[in-house]
Structure 1
Amino acid sequence: MTDRKSQLAGNLADVEKRIAAACAEAGRERDEVTLIVVTKTHPASDVRILSELGVRHVAENRDQDAAPKAAECSDLPLTWHFVGQLQTNKVRSVVSYADAVQSVDRPKLVTALSAAAVRAERELGCFIQVALDAEEDGRGDRGGVGPGGIEELADLVAGAPGLRLDGLMTVAPLTGPYEGRQQAAFERLMDLSTALRATHPAANMVSAGMSADLEQAVAAGATHVRVGTAVLGVRPRLG
């Protein structure tokens, strides 16, 4: 086993222990939580090693990094998630490799994703990104729509050809009423998920929690956690 593979295997085992312990603490089964490894800025060779170690879900946040990496790893049994803010001029590229976009936050993006998915003859999973640092009908500093905008976007996604409404995603806010209160933020997202499922029962996925706060996300009920640094180490600086 190479040094890098040994390092990633050890890190992955540590994260797995954390998720399992958090599930046990919350009275949940381990298979209720999907680990997504965020591979942004790390090379395709790391993605290949992760696949060898059993990882099945990976995430990227910049199309210019993700597109060539996904192409190089197209032979691997991976589900690719796009988690960054997405401009409409990048949609066609992203739809060519992503299985899910977790940063849907405006009607114009829904329209563009639908058109690209239909053109590519693919079904694309969509998570609505919720900004808990925003006003009810505002937008967040790091993307996302305020809670008051969820219903409109959900209806648009659900009715759009080529798209599938999977659920909600959030990033723990750095400002606002939930600053430093990750558990409360994730519990708020779960309440919003419950409300969403009243009209869209199949949209039952909740993506929340990263390396520093995955335990709080699992405790709140998240179905997906997005972990980068804890598995891959500190990311290289982008040039």
Structure 2
Amino acid sequence: MSTIADNIANVRQQIREAAQASGRPPEQVQLLAVSKTKPAGAVREAFACAQRDFGENYLQEALDKQVELADLAITWHFIGPIQSNKTRPIAEHFAWVHSVDRLKIAQRLSAQRPAHLPPLNICLQVNVSGEASKSGCSAAELPALAQAVSQLPNLRLRGLMAIPEPSDDLALLHQRFAAVRELQDSLNLGLDTLSMGMSQDLPVAIAEGATWVRIGTALFGARDYSSKA
């Protein structure tokens, strides 16, 4: 068994245990393997372990991997910040976008989604910690944004995404993730997705309702960002 295979098995076990501890069916929580900065070979190795959903932050890197891995039935998720000039290839080459934080981006994704593809699954990114350095709309902006995005023709609004500030304070993390869940519930739009939780805070996110956990380091090891400078 390879290291990646071992890691995937370990993370899936963590997901099962965290879900069960929270009284949730484990199948309610899906693993999104975050493969940014990792080679296509690592994605192929994870795919061999029945992992099908992969998240990428950097558009060109993701597009290159999609070409190299075109023989695999991968569901690709874009999870990074989105610039207006990058919306067309995102609309054309991804099944999910977790990081929409303004209406202009959503409108462009809808307009540029190819007609032969199903609606693009969308999560709205919320800046739940209020950090100036973080992407995401504010809680106050969310209701109007969600209503507008839910009306766009080629998108399917699925839920919210959040990246709280890193913390060793479990009570604070519970508070942040619970706030995201409560914001989603308050929208009354029948949304079914909470994209929250990463390698270091997976159990807390699951306890507070996460349906996608975005895991990279725990699957593929530490990342090398030197080529992204």
TM bracket, shorter-chain basis: over 0.9
Task: Indicate if the aligned counterparts of 1:190 and 1:206 stay in contact, CA closer than 8 A.
Answer: yes
CA distance in 1, matches of 2:74, 2:145: 27
Question: Secondary structure, in 3 states, of the residue corresponding to 2:71?
Answer: coil
Q: Give the equivalent residue in structure 1 for 2:133.
A: 141
**Structure 1 runs of 4+ with >4 Å offset:** 118-122
After TM superposition, the structure 1 = structure 2 runs for residues 125-140 of structure 1, keeping only pairs within 5 Å, are 125-134=121-130, 140=132
2:161 paired with 1:169: yes
Q: Give the counterpart letter for 1:211 in structure 2.
A: S
After TM superposition, the structure 1 = structure 2 runs for residues 12-91 of structure 1, keeping only pairs within 5 Å, are 12-91=8-87
Question: Secondary structure, in 3 states, of the residue corresponding to 1:129?
Answer: strand
CA distance in 2, matches of 1:28, 1:118: 37
After TM superposition, the structure 1 = structure 2 runs for residues 84-123 of structure 1, keeping only pairs within 5 Å, are 84-118=80-114, 121-123=117-119
Q: Give the counterpart letter for 1:17 in structure 2.
A: Q
With the length of structure 2 as denominator, give the TM-score of the two structures.
Answer: 0.93
Q: Give the equivalent residue in structure 1 for 2:217.
A: 229
Over aligned residue pairs, what C-alpha RMSD do you find?
1.9
Cα pair distance change 1:180/1:93, threshold 3 Å: farther
CA distance in 1, matches of 2:207, 2:83: 33
After TM superposition, the structure 1 = structure 2 runs for residues 197-208 of structure 1, keeping only pairs within 5 Å, are 198=188, 200-201=189-190, 203-208=191-196
Answer with 226-235 or 67-76: which moved more.
67-76
Identity of aligned residues (%): 36
Deviation, 1:116, is 1.0
Q: Give the counterpart letter for 1:23 in structure 2.
A: A
Question: Secondary structure, in 3 states, of the residue corresponding to 1:92?
Answer: helix
Count of aligned pairs: 226
CA distance in 2, matches of 1:189, 1:157: 18
With the length of structure 1 as denominator, give the TM-score of the two structures.
Answer: 0.89
Structure 2: tracts of 5 or more residues without a match: none
Deviation, 1:71, is 2.0
